Structure 1
Amino acid sequence: MTSSVPNDAPHTATDFADVVANATPQAEAVGVRRLFLVRHGQTTSNAIHALDTALPGADLTELGRMQATEAGTTLAERTQRARILSSQAARAQQTAVNVAHAFAAAGGHVSGVGRDGSEALPSALLLDDATAQHMIKSPHATAAAAGEVRALPGVAEIAAGDYEMRNDEDAHEHYHRILGEWLYGQRTTRVPGGETGEEVLLRYLKPLLVALAEHAERGEEDLALVSHGAVIRLAAGLLGNVPGEWAFGHYLPNAHMVELEIPEKLPGIVEGHPDELEALTGTFRLRAWGLHGTPE
């Protein structure tokens, strides 16, 4: 198993739209809902290949804001109505606001949250003032768009621990080797100074599953969660029962997304025990993984 420092800007969200339009059919039946796990746009830390995982993290670059806008347009080609949520990181919240604005501009309906906070998720947080200030840089960071996005507590990137903000090949090799072990099912391995794979999945999936359950009655509403590349691969790999080798070998560039079909009967995490993760395996159907389609 090998890994290398990835280039975060070889593909655009437009590439994703072109490929998925040809490779992935639209949902055929009313009531089939989808979950879009969207990676944030490029950040200043991505540009120098730094393992930046601590909150609040770096801001988007100009390219990152453009990527986020393209991702919103792509999302509008995949669904007409979506709830848009974000991780707690500044880069993800900035991306989500741009996605929401571009999604609406392309004819999509951002649902579930009013500007007055009505129908807000009980488990979600309003964007903080510091992040709102960061968003002033974005041409699409309107107050209306910010009012339609919420950040889910617990949703963040896999903590780099002792490798935080390092950009050397050795740090990347060790970080991605541990991710590979988790994808192969060895989730008790711990990132030095950080978390185990089990801990990451439990903190990420529990609030996500709660958010899905709270809106399960809205049969035509999809959900888009803007978060982070490594944790998206880990979570989607479990939910979609994706072979570890395939998930490890198929990197998710900035502002690309994984699309999963939400099951009619949603699973949940009750006790927060690692055994509950096994019951989640394969409960969602993988429809697209960035530019890569599916393993089938």
Structure 2
Amino acid sequence: MRLLLVRHGQTRSNVRQLLDTAAPGPGLTPLGEAQAAALPEALADEDIEALYTSTLVRTQLTAAPLAAARGLNQIIRDGIRELSAGDLEMLPGHSRGAERYLRTVFAWAAGDTAPRIPGGENGKEALARYDAVIAEAAVSGARTVAMISHGAAIRVWTAARAVNLDVTFAVARPLRNTGVVILEGTPADGWKALRWEGATVEPAGESGPAGEPLDHTR
């Protein structure tokens, strides 16, 4: 299965750099709406057969133009929502609480899934819910699936599950709004990252560090 993980369009909380993970969450800014409107053209070469969104409003608004252009229904699943900030919700991005959040979630990506966000989830729970939605998509018969999800969730899940990149790669590469990570594989056979925001990801076992981008074409 070809899997497109797409971050939602810009929100007010993105502009203010707030740790905003709770439902239903904010809508899109005018720029976010323009980013969403550009998705059908940006993904024109992808034969998308199923379109998933999270329970947070911003993903559904981002997906709406793509759904309309392709004649697809949005399949809304809580499992691909953002990694819960719990008691750290709405803290500014430069705060110690936000730094703790990032340290914790990227520890999950590195394999230490026991730590829990205060008032939130642990890595085992977060990865399991994301895995469950991807497993559902894999058995649906769709050959190419797009999931409109969230920045931290996409980076952490990809770093945890793709065989050819690691947590160092994901930490160094925040996803822009409507940035796309493309993977190929199945839950049974594993996943390989193909492209990260337009850059080709090097296959594991070739020269250079795991996940080193080979080009930066768009």
User: TM-score band (shorter)?
Assistant: 0.7 to 0.9
> Quick one: distance in 2 between partners of 1:292 and 1:187?
28
Q: Deviations over 1:37-75 (max 9, x none)?
A: 000000111111111101110111110111122222111
Deviation, 1:198, is 1.0
Identical pairs, percent: 35
> Quick one: distance in 2 between partners of 1:188 and 1:93?
31
> Quick one: distance in 1 between partners of 2:198 and 2:88?
29
Unmatched runs of 5 consecutive residues or more in structure 2: 202-210, 213-218
Indicate the RMSD between aligned Cα atoms, in angstroms.
Answer: 1.7
Q: Deviations over 1:223-244 (max 9, x none)?
A: 0000100010111112212211
SS of aligned partner of 2:139: helix
1:251 aligns with 2:174: yes
Q: Deviations over 1:164-206 (max 9, x none)?
A: 0111522221111112212222111111111111110001111
**What is the aligned partner in structure 2 of residue 225 from structure 1?**
147
**What is the aligned partner in structure 2 of residue 201 from structure 1?**
127
> Quick one: distance in 2 between partners of 1:207 and 1:81?
16
Task: Assess, with a 3 A threshold, how the Cα gap between structure 1 residues 164 and 262 changes in structure 2: closer, same or farther.
Answer: same
Structure with greater proportional strand content: 2
> Quick one: distance in 2 between partners of 1:99 and 1:238?
28
Task: Assess, with a 3 A threshold, how the Cα gap between structure 1 residues 186 and 193 changes in structure 2: closer, same or farther.
Answer: same
Unmatched runs of 5 consecutive residues or more in structure 1: 1-32, 112-147, 268-281
**What is the aligned partner in structure 2 of residue 83 from structure 1?**
50
> Quick one: distance in 2 between partners of 1:64 and 1:163?
24
* Contact 1:57–1:91 (CA under 8 A) maintained in structure 2: yes
* Contact 1:183–1:245 (CA under 8 A) maintained in structure 2: no
Letter paired with 1:36: L
Aligned residues: 201
**What is the aligned partner in structure 1 of residue 206 from structure 2?**
none
Structure 1 segments (4+ residues) deviating >3 Å: none
Aligned pair partner of 1:287 in 191, 194, 197:
194
Aligned pair partner of 1:181 in 107, 114, 126:
107
Q: How does 1:14-25 map to 2 (within 5 A)?
A: none
TM-score, with normalisation over the residues of structure 1? 0.64
Deviation, 1:214, is 2.0
TM-score, with normalisation over the residues of structure 2? 0.85
Letter paired with 2:147: L
